Amino acid sequence: MSKRYDLIVFDWDGTVMDSTAVIAGSIQAACRDLGLPVPADETARHVIGLGLDQALHHAVPELTEAMRPDLVARYRYHFLSQDAAIPLFDGARETIAELHEAGYWLGVATGKNSNGLNRALDSSGLKGYFHATRTADRTLSKPNPAMLLELMDELGTSAERTLMVGDTTHDLQMAQNAKVDAVAMAHGAHPPEQLRELEPLALVDDFAGLRKWFKANA
């Protein structure tokens, strides 16, 4: 059977790596450190996937430009103290390895910065499987389509032959803006009902469900 897609692009946090709770908790802890209003869990989770500056401004509307460097520093302190211990989701490694072996181009489009993604790729042992990546410090943040457009251009693929896999509405909106198909993962930062509203091709619970969907549809 011929392949439906040439390029599969994964979000990272909340999609491949089970980091949602650590990121949300680090945002909240950073706010406590500085005496800023602490965002609720839902708010802290909702901004995951955006670039860090954008995420902090959304999560903490009271944030002033003068306080931004301190909040970024405190967030990084709390996140990096746990970074090395964050696991991949069950089945992520096997799924990505299978897709690589099957000949797909694989990419990452993430709100992380380049250093953070490189650390995660190295520590997880997945670096060799991905052909290209885009991070929020290298191009425009989601839901702008720039990450996907640049990955498609770099790897010589079209929107019709590209699939986005993500766990947030930011991922799905980016895919829509790039005119790219998308599959949503329900195990991440945004609740399934919000993901369904954006009408992805499928909403799967985990990597077992994603592998099953790939075999039938990709």
Q: What does the block give as tokens for 171?
A: 């991922």
Q: Where are the beta strands (DSSP E) in 98-216?
A: 105-110, 132-135, 162-166, 181-185, 202-204
Tally the residues of the chain: 218
- Nearest Cα neighbor of 190 from 27, 49, 29, 38 is 49
Q: What does the block give as tokens for 217?
A: 């549809």
Contact 109, 182 (CB under 8 A): no
CA-based end-to-end distance of the chain: 10
Residue 181 annotated in active site: no
Q: Which of 11, 167, 171, 181 is catalytic?
A: 11
Q: Which of 6, 13, 33, 153 is catalytic?
A: 13
Q: Which residue type is seen at 18?
A: D
Distance between CA atoms of 84 and 43, rounded to whole angstroms? 25
Residue 13 annotated in active site: yes
Instruction: Tell me the catalytic residues.
Output: 11, 13
